[in-house]
Structure 1
Amino acid sequence: MGVCFTGMRKKWKEARRYWLINAAILFSAILVIGGTQEQEVYAENSDPNIFVHGLTGFGYGELGPKLRYWGGTTQNIIGDLTNKGYSSMEAVVSPFGSNWDRAIELYYYIKGGTVDYGAAHAEKHGHERYGRTLPGIYPQWSGENRVHLIGHSQGGQTSRMLDTLLREGSVEEQEYARANGLELPEIFSGSKTWVRSITAIATPHNGTQVASLAKGLLHEVIYGSAFIANSSVVNLTYDFKLDQWGLKQFPGETKKNYLRRVFSSKVWHANEDIVLYDLTTEGAMKLNEQTSLSSDVYYFSFSGNATYKGVFSNNYYPSITVFPLYSIPAAYIGATGGREWRQNDGLVPVISALYPFGQSYKAADGNPTAGMWYVEPTIQGWEHMDFVGQDYTQAPFLKRSVQNFYQNIVVRNRSL
């Protein structure tokens, strides 16, 4: 049998180019991020940092003792920051709820009380008005005791929604309460500047092309989380926190049957009050129109890029460091939409993570200004889950870089 040495040399050159490009991306990330020094602590405010998870997020202990949303299996980001003197707390909201519902849950998770999604909102979307009763992780929250919101992925959108609701309230809920003689929940009354800053990390401010694949990937994303947590899929204990939609686990119901019932629920279809809509470009555009910036609040954004441009095309391809679960969406985004939408972190296009279209912004220049987005340079080589230490293949190598990343955020927050 003959051997085509010309073909072999060509394939070897292509493979070598592929590995060199990805090695360069990883090396650049190490140089740019890994060498960051911890900043000196100086206090101008003592407001706590409230961490808000994104899509499929969970609280510590929900997927077993080995996995944290903020730190994966290699570190405890929130605990480490608190131990260093930066008060930091984890907020837990629905992993699949709409940004409105999640914002309401976030309010009560911080302040405490029975979750009230709003009478007008509940009637409009056909779910229960009230949710769980929560003790509150910072019940003294007020204009005198403000907070810094740090949101990863959808957590950034949710934080923006809450900030706007606190300041502007909801005219729809106010009018509905007056017309029906109802007491208006405090969150809908407005005039509350309770947020000092918002840091949006790898947030799809303008949506993502991959949202159209989300329904098909839903099972894989959940099962992937179980795999990372080293749990059995059948025995997976996962709290969807969609009680308002009737998706509670019944007494005696097996975990497997519960998951099957959740996945087959009509809530995922033709419903704008759910995450699968909010992450589309259309849903994100509506959110951008509903949210605003305050001259009293600082807004920061971070983006990552874990793709490289094809040699003979305008497509972008996932680097070898991308977690396998996100290679397919990374490649899909890299080949979809206009050229400016193709660089991505595996789930979110770079252009979407920079700032919400239509809102004021400026590139980072060492002088953050309240009332506009302060856009940090895109971190080359970091994929979506590297930002929270959940890419178990990369987490051990990026552990120090991730620590420095959050250290720098909370140091800056304290100085505001």
Structure 2
Amino acid sequence: MKFLCCVIASQVLLSVSKGVRVVLVHGLAGFGPEELGPIDYWNDNEQYFIDRGIDVFESTVGPVSSNWDRACELYAQIKGTVVDYGKAHSERHGHKRFGRNFTGKGYAPDWDENNKLHFVGHSMGGQTIRELERLIQEGDAAELAATGDDTSPLFKKQGNWIKSMSTLSTPHDGTPLVKILGDGMVALIKAMIIGFAGISSGSDLEDFYDLDLDQWDLGRHSGEKFFDYLSRVLSSPIWKDNIDFANYDLTIEGSIAAQQKGQHAYPGTHYAGYATEQTEKVIFTSFQIPSLKMSLPMQPFGTMLGSILNSDKDLRENDGLVPLEASKCPQAGYSGVSCTEFTSQDHKWEAGKWHWEKVSKDHMQVIGFTIFQKPDQVYERIANRIVSIEPTLRRRLKSLRGN
């Protein structure tokens, strides 16, 4: 009887909250559903949203593409259109204007200012969401000048379509690690991809994984072995001095340049940055070293970040890849802005300003890639905060729970 009641309650919730939808956006070297067989990038943390009657869409964007290109891909997947990277942008950077066709496959074709969506992004996924919001809010004058009536709606200044964005481990202000590693950044990206791939079986890898670089004519060839494909892509000259790629967008300079194109926060959107760290201060110094809880693959990078010398904000406390300070909210490209720390679970989530919360996990543990620790319940808090700004869903949940 108890099981039947739960099923009925779940069905009622889903029918009532049909308009409450969240889009998940993966980070650098990430992957979407079924790209690595049974392996889930989000490690079933999406269940926290589903349990509250929130519908979830796991997007798939270019794992190493720029935030502009990823935002265009994300828009097309949601609206159900052909990916349009923009004529002006594509000609400026030397790649194709059009990408994959999602016509008839859109997650939310009705997405607009009257049917807003919530977004959750891990790592670079948070940057991608911010770029998507900037384009929707402000459009792009260069694209309008280049194509006039033929311009994608994405570049036509649509307004406020995003109800909330929650970012996890996102390098809003970039990460010094890109410059520290130099050419080794490409090796790190390769290692991350292989690391994800190692979780899955070889057959899954051969059948599914793709770096989604068709716009650069670097799509995977029919019958091409995965590691041959990966080597071909990562040895391509497009990585060198290319500002339309992930490795530039993740730098401090690239992040500041992106911030200066748009506003710090837009009215009507709720913002939350979940800033991760897993280092400890070295006694009698200002340096940080990885804690024993940090994943072994993250520790060398955590040590590098923990020992850098900063002339401005202290960026040593980190999660293995991104400084804690850089993942609170976008700040470096603006003057006089700040982030408001969530002081309690009941802290009001105000629109039009950034809030942040510290999460004691490393860069990969926060999405569930952990062996010795229980995943942090950060997704439960994100889901609860989404419920708190959705009055209809909140009332229905209270009714079903009898309080």
Equivalent of residue 151 in structure 2, options 184, 199, 202: 184
Residue 66 of structure 2 corresponds to residue 98 of structure 1: yes
Equivalent of residue 78 in structure 1, options 1, 22, 46: 46
- Per-residue deviation, residues 244-296 of structure 1 (Å, max 9, x unmatched): 01111112322232122111111211100000000000001101111222112
Distance 1:385 1:225 in 2: 11
With 205-214 and 118-127 compared, the bigger mean Cα shift is at: 205-214
Distance 1:404 1:241 in 2: 31
Larger radius of gyration: 1
In 2, are the aligned partners of 1:197 and 1:413 still within 8 Å (CA)?
no
In 1, are the aligned partners of 2:165 and 2:269 still within 8 Å (CA)?
yes
In 1, are the aligned partners of 2:36 and 2:205 still within 8 Å (CA)?
no
Distance 1:362 1:318 in 2: 26
Give secondary structure in 2 for the equivalent of 1:341: coil
Equivalent of residue 125 in structure 2, options 155, 166, 170: 155
Give secondary structure in 2 for the equivalent of 1:302: strand
Distance 2:249 2:36 in 1: 25
5 Å-filtered alignment, 1:313-352, equals 313-338=285-310, 340-352=314-326
Distance 1:279 1:77 in 2: 25
Distance 2:322 2:127 in 1: 13
Cα 1:340–1:44 shift into 2, 3 Å: farther
Alignment-derived partner of residue 164 in structure 2: 197
Equivalent of residue 362 in structure 2, options 370, 375, 383: 383
- Give the aligned residue type for 1:142: D
- Per-residue deviation, residues 294-350 of structure 1 (Å, max 9, x unmatched): 112111111111000112432211112212221111111111132710000111101
Superposition TM-score, scaled by structure 1 size: 0.81
In 2, are the aligned partners of 1:49 and 1:88 still within 8 Å (CA)?
yes
Unaligned runs of 5+ in 2: 1-12, 395-403
Distance 1:234 1:141 in 2: 33
Cα 1:232–1:334 shift into 2, 3 Å: farther
Equivalent of residue 274 in structure 2, options 285, 289, 302: 302
Alignment-derived partner of residue 283 in structure 1: 254
Deviation at 1:384, TM superposition (A): 1.2
Distance 2:326 2:244 in 1: 21
Give secondary structure in 2 for the equivalent of 1:240: coil
Distance 1:291 1:392 in 2: 40
- Give the aligned residue type for 1:398: P
Equivalent of residue 116 in structure 1, options 84, 87, 96: 84
Distance 2:95 2:47 in 1: 36
Superposition TM-score, scaled by structure 2 size: 0.84
Residue 350 of structure 2 corresponds to residue 369 of structure 1: yes
Distance 1:126 1:229 in 2: 34
In 2, are the aligned partners of 1:343 and 1:349 still within 8 Å (CA)?
yes
- Give the aligned residue type for 2:383: Q
Root-mean-square deviation (CA, aligned residues, Å) is 2.4
Alignment-derived partner of residue 7 in structure 2: none
- Give the aligned residue type for 2:132: L
- Per-residue deviation, residues 104-130 of structure 1 (Å, max 9, x unmatched): 111111111100000000000000000
Give secondary structure in 2 for the equivalent of 1:290: coil
In 2, are the aligned partners of 1:234 and 1:256 still within 8 Å (CA)?
no
Residue 109 of structure 2 corresponds to residue 130 of structure 1: no
Unaligned runs of 5+ in 1: 1-40
Cα 1:248–1:301 shift into 2, 3 Å: same
Deviation at 1:411, TM superposition (A): 2.6
With 77-86 and 194-203 compared, the bigger mean Cα shift is at: 77-86
Residue 211 of structure 2 corresponds to residue 240 of structure 1: yes
With 383-392 and 277-286 compared, the bigger mean Cα shift is at: 383-392
Equivalent of residue 269 in structure 1, options 221, 224, 240: 240
Residue 27 of structure 2 corresponds to residue 54 of structure 1: yes
Aligned length: 363
- Give the aligned residue type for 1:375: W
Distance 1:346 1:104 in 2: 29
- Give the aligned residue type for 1:62: E
Percent identity for Structure 1 against Structure 2:
35
- Give the aligned residue type for 1:105: E
Distance 1:369 1:79 in 2: 25
Distance 1:236 1:114 in 2: 24
In 1, are the aligned partners of 2:366 and 2:375 still within 8 Å (CA)?
no
In 2, are the aligned partners of 1:46 and 1:414 still within 8 Å (CA)?
no
Cα 1:137–1:337 shift into 2, 3 Å: farther
Equivalent of residue 408 in structure 1, options 375, 384, 392: 384
Cα 1:270–1:236 shift into 2, 3 Å: farther
Deviation at 1:44, TM superposition (A): 9.3
- Give the aligned residue type for 2:164: S
Cα 1:411–1:385 shift into 2, 3 Å: farther
Distance 1:175 1:237 in 2: 38
Higher relative contact order (CA 8 A, sep 6+): 1
Alignment-derived partner of residue 36 in structure 1: none
Deviation at 1:240, TM superposition (A): 0.5
Alignment-derived partner of residue 10 in structure 1: none
- Per-residue deviation, residues 18-62 of structure 1 (Å, max 9, x unmatched): xxxxxxxxxxxxxxxxxxxxxxx9x99943111111111101211
Distance 2:234 2:211 in 1: 11
